[in-house]
Amino acid sequence: MTYVVTDNCIKCKYTDCVEVCPVDCFYEGENMLVIHPDECIDCGVCEPECPADAIKPDTEPGLEKWLEINTEYASKWPNLTVKKTELPDAKEFDGVEGKFDKYFSPEPGEGD
């Protein structure tokens, strides 16, 4: 099992989860984060830290797409190990439906 970041992270990009991760397995895209599934140790400390409730265990039904997305972009985006300020419109985008199709960016973030 691993944890994955899902679509509610898009356009929010809270990084509270990054701060508590003991193995630094978060990677930063332009408008969301992903978890590297081969680096995640399944400790689960990140899940309750996410204000947007965007982190889920990959054992939940229907998360196969998100496991693929996390795997793909963790190998392309820079590692993030420190907390940053969330995106300016994070509160407005928290809970918006269909964010992946409307807003996902494959571009990398800045990382550390």
pLDDT score, position 25: 98
Say what the pTM is: 0.96
Q: For residue 1, what pLDDT band results from cuts at 50, 70 and 90?
A: confident
Report pLDDT digits (tens) over 47-64.
999 999 999 999 999 999
Taking residue 81's Cβ as centre, other Cβ atoms within 10 Å add up to 15
Report pLDDT digits (tens) over 92-109.
999 999 999 999 999 999
Provide the mean pLDDT of the chain: 97
Report pLDDT digits (tens) over 79-94.
999 999 999 999 999 9
